[in-house]
């Protein structure tokens, strides 16, 4: 995997970051989870999915019988967008080489939330239309299986999204 330089300035997100948030977990895992971008807790700690969404994700993984040490967890961008807004296309493009190097050759890539699904799959409709349906996408020069599902934050007030995230974790377990 390639990673950004410690003083990366490939896009404007560098202006407000505390830390570059690099992938976490098993770099050799067959499965990679991809979120949209780091939040405040992730920016402070330099690890993806460590706040409330991370706890929800870890609980769903544990219920399915695996943990974060068995997967790789990353984001489409490595620096926190201001105000937790969605990453802009030019920001995602700046981080694309890093993301491609993280995803190539995996058995399954899991897109967590609409922004990650849009960036990786090119889908911009309603999440319910594609959630938990494994499809193939191009990553670099290879095709990989892709599982779009809800972002853990979407499950806080939405029971259907919560149930779908749990179903997604059962699908992930089959790939481990």
Q: What integer pLDDT is reported at residue 39 of this predicted model?
A: 93
Q: What is the average pLDDT across 148-161?
A: 95
Question: What is the Cα–Cα distance from 73 to 157, expressed in whole angstroms?
Answer: 23
Under 8 Å between Cβ of 38 and 22: no
Question: What is the Cα–Cα distance from 20 to 79, expressed in whole angstroms?
Answer: 5
pLDDT tens across 47-95, in order?
A: 999 999 999 999 999 999 999 999 999 999 999 999 889 899 999 999 9
Under 8 Å between Cβ of 1 and 78: no
- The strand ranges marked E within the chain are 24-25, 31-35, 72-75, 108-112, 135-139, 142-149
pLDDT at 140 over 90: no
Its CATH class, for the domain covering 12-175, is alpha beta
pLDDT at 141 over 90: no
Q: What integer pLDDT is reported at residue 84 of this predicted model?
A: 85
């Amino acid at each position: 995997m390639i990673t950004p330089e410690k003083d990366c300035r490939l896009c404007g997100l560098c202006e407000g970051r505390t830390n570059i948030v690099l992938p976490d977990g098993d770099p050799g895992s067959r499965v990679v989870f991809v979120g949209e971008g780091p939040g405040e807790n992730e920016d402070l700690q330099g690890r993806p999915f460590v706040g409330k969404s991370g706890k929800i994700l870890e609980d769903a993984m544990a219920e399915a019988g695996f943990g974060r040490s068995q997967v790789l967890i990353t984001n489409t961008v490595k620096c926190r967008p201001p105000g937790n807004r969605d990453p802009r296309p030019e920001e995602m493009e700046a981080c694309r080489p890093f993301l491609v190097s993280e995803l190539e050759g995996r058995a399954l890539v899991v897109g967590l939330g609409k922004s990650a699904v849009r960036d990786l799959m090119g889908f911009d409709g309603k999440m319910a239309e594609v959630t938990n349906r494994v499809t193939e996408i191009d990553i670099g020069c290879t095709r990989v299986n892709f599982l779009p599902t809800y972002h853990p934050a979407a499950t806080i007030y939405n029971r259907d999204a919560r149930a779908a995230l749990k179903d997604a974790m059962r699908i992930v377990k089959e790939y481990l």
